[in-house]
Structure 1
Amino acid sequence: METTSPALVMLPGLLNDQRLWAYQAQALAGERVVQIADLSRDDSITAMAHRVLENAPPRFALAALSMGGYVAFEVLRQAPERVERLALFDTMASLDSAERAATRRGLLELAQRGRFIGVSPQLMPRLIHARWLDSEVSRTVQQMAIAVGKEGFIRQQRAIIHRPDSLPTLAGIRVPTLIVVGADDQLTPVAEARLMHERIAGSRLEVLPECGHLPPLEAPERSLTLLREWLLA
């Protein structure tokens, strides 16, 4: 495809695959080169970012959700000159609280012992807004988790547990930055998005009503509109 528009690289979150961004990627593919990275193959954020950079065009716009945001910050540390603009969906720059880190370690231990069922019915309400619990959205979430699988989950969870603190990275971000968060996100709440917004100069913050942790699936049209506006900013 011949285009002068900047390429777009999209990073999924924990237990997500290309289906997370499929709607937006398909809509934008007629306007620019679009890549959705596979973040299930490495067990460190550093290695994930290195693989993204190996496969990405020389310069690109970078959109990321949740764990993908942790990778995006590492991409900026490794090769800031290659990133033209940044979109951060439902992620955070700070490290986990002690309680959350303990929960992650517990889930990792269960998976290592063979107890991996993807996204459990108990976890689903923490991922998506209640209105999507019995819908194609929840089915897609479970299908993605099964596709990533136990070994992919173990690698990703290890990477998240040992990720670096990205708060010091925020002040150095000088590209057009969009920050999006679901108003009802229980995993990376609005307070974390506001903290990033305060520390990234000139960033734009959008809080989506009746939306949980996965706006590209829960609010696909609004997410697409925000991405289009950001790409043209």
Structure 2
Amino acid sequence: MPNEDMAGPLPLVVVPGMLCDASLWRDVGFPEGHDVHHVPLRRADIGALAEDVLATVLGPLVFVGLSLGAIVGFEVLRRAPQRVAGLCVMATNAGAPRPEQYAAWREMDELIAAGRFTDVVERTLPDMFPGRSPTPEVARRYRAMAHAVGATAARAQLAAQATRTDAADVLRTARCPTVVLAGARDTLCPPAFHRAIADSVPGALLTLLPDAGHLLPWQRPEAVTAALRELVTAAARTAPASAADATP
């Protein structure tokens, strides 16, 4: 249910990546005094997931998303730009799906349908970490999180991936404070993807994190923490004077 308290610090709405849940953010120090709302990825359509975000709180919000979660944020911005007081996206891609991605998602969906969800988790695991070589400890952590998400949600996430569209047009119209974080060693969403995003959003700040891969909240939580604190400060300066002003 939306938070009916229209006053006070801007709420943060946080969306994880595919096969991730709220535990992705457990090492991040979210700004004190701000309500933090975690939105799971359980629907098979990017638009429906964006509506989940918009229904979480009333009025303006600061959106934080990683990978598929960030892609949901692009759609939130498309549908309700007046609601987005601040935007933080990381480890993501604003482009439309490529043919090889559609094929990979179909293959993974078929594996899950055949009862081979564990194979999909193992297939995705290396791309989450710099050098594609996770330590045993972080590999166990990723497996535990992915299996907590489960096969049903994973299939919905794969279907949602296929409903993505190119977000370059909406990013060019964004006017909220925006932070883009990229892992220098992210093989799944390399730095070039993030430079394109930052170049599209007027005034966006791009931070490239050395020796980090895809799961930035695990690998560089202190950098994510610092970025969020700076973002909410900037967002508070530019948000509507009243939350009601930004409610559709």
Q: Does 1:125 align with 2:129?
A: no
Q: From 8, 29, 40, give the equivalent of 2:12.
A: 8
Q: What's 2:190 paired with?
A: 189
Figure out how many residues of one structure are paired with residues of the other and give that number: 230
TM-score by length of 2: 0.86
The letter of the residue matching 1:166 is A
- Contact 1:186–1:213, Cα closer than 8 Å, also in 2: yes
Point out the more displaced range, 136-145 or 108-117. Answer: 136-145
Q: What is residue 109 of structure 2 aligned with on the other side? A: 108
After the TM superposition, which residues 111-190 of structure 1 pair with which residues of structure 2 at under 5 Å, given as runs? 111-117=112-118, 120-130=121-131, 133-190=134-191
Encode CA deviations 1:113-133: one digit per residue, 9 max, x unaligned: 221116644532211124971
AA partner of residue 96 (structure 2): L
Counterpart of 1:36 in structure 2 is 38
- CA–CA distance in 2 between the matches of 1:139 and 1:118? 15
Q: TM-score, normalised by structure 1?
A: 0.91
Q: 1:2 to 1:77 in 2, by over 3 A?
A: closer
What's the Cα RMSD here?
A: 2.0
Q: How far did residue 204 of structure 1 move?
A: 0.3
Residue in structure 1 matched with residue 59 of structure 2 by the alignment:
58
Relative contact order, higher structure (CA 8 A, sep 6+): 2
Conserved 8 A contact 1:19-1:140: no
Corresponding position of 1:226:
227
| Amino-acid identity (%) | 34
Mark the CA change 1:199 to 1:23 in structure 2 (over 3 Å): closer, same or farther. same
Checking the alignment, whether the CA contact within 8 Å between 1:119 and 1:142 is kept in structure 2 is no
In structure 2, distance between residues paired with 1:58 and 1:230: 17
Distance change (3 Å), C-alpha of 1:131 and 1:115: closer
* Aligned mates of 1:230, 1:137 — CA distance in 2: 28
- In the alignment, the residues of structure 2 paired with residue 86 and residue 142 of structure 1 have an alpha-carbon distance, to the nearest angstrom, of 29
Which residue pairs with 1:22 in the alignment? 26
Q: 1:68: which partner in 2?
A: 69
Distance in structure 1 (CA, Å) of the matches to 2:76 and 2:139 = 30
Secondary structure of the 1:23 match is coil
CA deviations on 1:63-88 (whole Å, 9 max, x unpaired) are: 11000011101111221111101001
The letter of the residue matching 1:79 is A
Given that 1:118 and 1:142 are in contact with CA atoms closer than 8 Å, whether structure 2 keeps it comes out as no
1:116-172 Cα shifts (integer Å, max 9, x gaps): 116644532211124971254332221111011111000000000122221221111
Matches of 2:131 and 2:33, distance apart in 1: 34
The SS at the match of 1:20 is helix
Q: Give 1:4 deviation, angstroms.
A: 2.8
Kindly provide the amino acid, as one letter, of the partner of residue 10 in structure 2.
Answer: P
Deviation at 1:3, TM superposition (A): 7.7
Q: Find runs of 4+ consecutive structure 1 residues off by over 3 angstroms.
A: 118-123
> CA, structure 1 residues 2+166, in 2 after alignment: closer, same or farther (shift >3 Å)?
closer
| Amino acid aligned to 1:8 | L
Mapped contact 1:137–1:218 kept (Cα < 8 A): no
1 CA distance for matches of 2:223 and 2:16? 18
Structure 2 residue ranges without an equivalent (≥5): 235-248
Distance 1:155 1:168 in 2: 26
Aligned AA (2:8): T
